[in-house]
Structure 1
Amino acid sequence: MAKARLLRMWLAVGSVAMILLIIVYWDNVGTAHFYLHTALSRPHPPQPPPTPGEALASDIDEFLDTLLGADTKQDEPPRRKTARPPTPASARPELGKLEESVRGYDWSAHDAQQGADWGWLQAERRRVLRASCANSSLAFPTKERSFDDIPNHELNHLIVDDRHGAIYCYVPKAACTNWKRVMIVLSESLLHQGAPYREPLAIPRERVHNSSTHLTFNRFWRRYGKFSRHLMKVKLKKYTKFLFVRDPFVRLISAFRSKFELENEEFYRQFAVPMLQRYSNHSSPPGSVHEAFGAGLRVSFAHFIQYLLDPRTEKLAPFNEHWRQVYRLCHPCQIDYDFVGKLETLDEDAAQLLRLLRVDHLLRFPPSYRNRTASSWAHDWFAKIPLAWRQQLYKLYEADFVLFGYPKPENLLRD
């Protein structure tokens, strides 16, 4: 009995030692044997070789899954290793079956910027981001903490595609629905009638935003246990990391339009009712959004701005992701992003990013929505907002303006 117990103990110690050796190998030696995804100027061969992301993920994941037990990944979608036939670039979903078919999507062709101009633009965006993070005069909460200091629950916006070595930090109201769709197609994380989705717009919106659909960093703990943070760093080092951003004030307008000008029961009960009670002297608002709209009772944009500026808001709970600052969602001073896309140049940036990821032969980014909230509307939307409120609001979102190179809206911040 004692010998058996001793043997089990040595086997356990040996397993842990092997895991540590594997991690050290991939972190220090294995890097030299793989093609790095972060090089912006790499060549683009007709048939791309196997990616480091897929090789790295399959070896480490399978080794850890064997040692740590299959129950550590019960909530993860099955990993597929079979090659996927390329989807024709002109493939387009049946419009009659899609919600997007009635929203006015622009199916016209857009030529992406090419060559040195695009390379310079990306280099400049990344330079501005790095310089702003290093600028001691720009102060904002969480700026000085390290990646290890970020709680797991704040990493829930980082979606990982191990098949192609990509990490996407999604920002609501910056084309995140369609980028999530692209990540689902690439990672093959969602099946339809037994086969992975091939066309992004064929994926229903409600499934796109289901958190169980995506492998995000905050789910690594269940999968990898105490090794999760180290594996996050390994993948951050080797994978292509990207995000898409938007003018902060315009993003707020877009969030207000989609969540409060349309009948949204969830946002009405959670956010609109408290706004009406606090700022509109309605002690007992209707119980449903349909009743409220029928009675002509809606929160105004001014109520929404009051809510954002109210100190009680953050004391009760963090900002909702649709108006939470990008620096709080994506941690750009702790994560060295390889690609910074902007909604204002979405078509061009999307085409270039898919080339960078070497997946442009598999799919195209869905066409852009024609009636997106325009930057030129900001003046009209903020015209009735008191100047002091506008100035406070800029302070609240100043870091996002500076980090991502958006000019200070001087015309909105003075009489």
Structure 2
Amino acid sequence: MGAWRGLRVAFILGSLFMILLIIVYWDGVGGFNLYLFPDMKHNSLQSGCSRRMTMSTVSTVQSHASSPITAHTATSSSPIEAAQILTDEEQMKEESEDERIRFPAEDMEQEARKQRIMDVCSGKDVMDFPGRTRALDQIPIRELDHLIVDDAHQIIYCYVPKVACTNWKRVLVVLSQSLISPSTGKPYTDPEAVPPDLVHNSSLHLTFAKFWRHYGSLSRHLMALKLQRYTKFLFVRDPFVRLISAFRNKFERPNEDFYRQFGSVMLRRYGNVSEDLAETAAEAFAAGIKPTFHQFISYLLDPETERKSIFNEHWRQVYRLCHPCQVKYDFIGRLETLETDSKHLLKLLKVDQFLRFPSGARNRTETSWERDWFAQIPLTKRRELYDLYKPDFELFGYPRPDGVLHR
């Protein structure tokens, strides 16, 4: 009898312990805050964002009412709590309607951009590309390294190099307070004051690729929860213009890292340069030797390039960086409408009263440059290049560059 009573006590204590673990776990799911520099100002920033979930996110959560979390919440809520939930939902609905009144054209454009992605990903446009139909769980975690997570403000940003990503990272640094200003000894509060060369330090940003190191076997589950709850956004650009911009930035002026890893390879493979090629970019440029745009395109189209390694992030296709068929983005911005889209997005995130999008130097590469830049590229290579980047053209609604693809 004593043994049986001991077993019952052990069972009850074990059950209580498991319930405590579950409570602690679910309490932390919505906001693992790993940032190292907390500050009192953070509270004011966060309070302004506490209800910035879009109605589409609310609808998604409500549609999962049969899940254990939602069912438990519904059954355990008192009438007062239930009334408060309804009040909060009504307020969010009113705020969402206010945003639609302020940005009717922008909202319609956003819906069109999101619908286009859904159509291409579903196969309605009769177009296939690698990874279109795979599940999120099938994407290697290392390929999720561009999805930056801000738990405090429930934001997920997929950054695309050469598409204003420096300035958007500066915004996230201010929101997360992850970088201290040496002049004030406090976190930066103005994105324009954040040194642009520092924001690309990977240690400043929590990305999905780091989840395994932090959360182990819970990583995939946490990713799914955050993707369901958080506001997700990215900014895109005409694919060919982005390529021109990447080439100008990395190969038209000395860049030691890119010269050693890519430029010297292009010169040896396609430039008929002898083995005594300069070891440094400074020496090569001083001798008047540097990669051409034609050599850059040849490198991108070379099957050997793809076999050896995945494209560098500066010219990797957006569909391979941000996985739009697996991640349902709430906002798709364009560099071509950066000022309008940024203002709209900051309002949706409820942070426009605390900061402004940096108005720094704008990348000057324009679509009108395409014909001149591709003039020396053989027509067959132009068409091969279009096929390589066609998914990005289709997914994000950029017109086929017929002026480049036809003589």
Q: TM-score, normalised by structure 1?
A: 0.77
Contact 1:242–1:340, Cα closer than 8 Å, also in 2: yes
Moved more, 301-310 or 179-188: 179-188
- The AA in structure 2 aligned to 1:302 is H
Partner of 1:163: 152
1:134 correspondence with 2:126 = no
Partner of 1:120: 108
* Residue 18 of structure 1: how far off its partner (Å): 4.8
Q: Within 1, Cα distance between the matches of 2:267 and 2:117?
A: 38
Partner of 1:318: 310
Counterpart mapping for 1:249-288 below 5 A = 249-284=240-275, 285-288=277-280
1:332 correspondence with 2:299 = no
Contact 1:132–1:138, Cα closer than 8 Å, also in 2: yes
- The AA in structure 1 aligned to 2:292 is S
1:77 to 13, 25, 36: 36
Counterpart mapping for 1:257-406 below 5 A = 257-284=248-275, 285-370=277-362, 372-406=364-398
Q: Residues 306 and 10 from structure 1, CA distance in 2 versus in 1: closer, same or farther, beyond 3 angstroms?
A: farther
Greater C-alpha radius of gyration:
2
SS of residue paired to 1:205: coil
- The AA in structure 1 aligned to 2:222 is L
Moved more, 145-154 or 215-224: 215-224
Partner of 2:236: 245
Q: Within 2, Cα distance between the matches of 1:8 and 1:366?
A: 60
Per-residue CA distance 1:1-34 (angstroms, 9 max, x = gap): xxxxxx99998997666555666x67xxxxxxxx
> Number of residues paired by the alignment?
340
Partner of 1:150: 139
Q: Within 2, Cα distance between the matches of 1:371 and 1:287?
A: 30
- The AA in structure 2 aligned to 1:153 is R
- The AA in structure 2 aligned to 1:139 is D
Partner of 1:210: 201
Contact 1:191–1:197, Cα closer than 8 Å, also in 2: yes
Structure 1: stretches of 5+ with no match in the other structure: 1-6, 27-54, 63-72, 87-112
Partner of 1:234: 225
Q: TM-score, normalised by structure 2?
A: 0.78
Give the helix-richer structure, 1 or 2: 2
SS of residue paired to 2:198: helix
Q: Residues 220 and 371 from structure 1, CA distance in 2 versus in 1: closer, same or farther, beyond 3 angstroms?
A: closer
Q: Within 2, Cα distance between the matches of 1:339 and 1:311?
A: 34
Per-residue CA distance 1:202-249 (angstroms, 9 max, x = gap): 222232000001011111112222111111111111110000000000
Counterpart mapping for 1:12-31 below 5 A = 18-20=20-22
Contact 1:307–1:313, Cα closer than 8 Å, also in 2: yes
Contact 2:278–2:284, Cα closer than 8 Å, also in 1: yes
Partner of 1:94: none
* Residue 192 of structure 1: how far off its partner (Å): 2.1
Q: Within 2, Cα distance between the matches of 1:335 and 1:371?
A: 27
* Residue 188 of structure 1: how far off its partner (Å): 1.1
Contact 1:347–1:368, Cα closer than 8 Å, also in 2: no
- The AA in structure 2 aligned to 1:163 is A
Contact 2:39–2:187, Cα closer than 8 Å, also in 1: no
Q: Within 2, Cα distance between the matches of 1:209 and 1:142?
A: 27
Q: Residues 190 and 126 from structure 1, CA distance in 2 versus in 1: closer, same or farther, beyond 3 angstroms?
A: same
1:188 correspondence with 2:180 = no
Q: Residues 133 and 12 from structure 1, CA distance in 2 versus in 1: closer, same or farther, beyond 3 angstroms?
A: farther
Contact 1:263–1:289, Cα closer than 8 Å, also in 2: yes
* Residue 77 of structure 1: how far off its partner (Å): 2.8
Q: Within 2, Cα distance between the matches of 1:10 and 1:271?
A: 63
Q: Residues 150 and 19 from structure 1, CA distance in 2 versus in 1: closer, same or farther, beyond 3 angstroms?
A: farther
Contact 2:37–2:179, Cα closer than 8 Å, also in 1: no
* Residue 80 of structure 1: how far off its partner (Å): 5.2
- The AA in structure 1 aligned to 2:254 is E
How large is the Cα RMSD of the aligned pairs?
A: 2.5
Q: Within 1, Cα distance between the matches of 2:14 and 2:259?
A: 53
Q: Within 1, Cα distance between the matches of 2:180 and 2:250?
A: 29
Q: Within 2, Cα distance between the matches of 1:342 and 1:266?
A: 29
Q: Within 1, Cα distance between the matches of 2:198 and 2:11?
A: 45
Moved more, 168-177 or 200-209: 200-209
Per-residue CA distance 1:85-144 (angstroms, 9 max, x = gap): 67xxxxxxxxxxxxxxxxxxxxxxxxxx95211111111111111111111521111111
SS of residue paired to 1:405: coil
- The AA in structure 1 aligned to 2:314 is H
Moved more, 304-313 or 366-375: 366-375
Identity %, equivalent residues = 52
* Residue 189 of structure 1: how far off its partner (Å): 1.6
Q: Residues 10 and 295 from structure 1, CA distance in 2 versus in 1: closer, same or farther, beyond 3 angstroms?
A: farther
Partner of 2:71: none
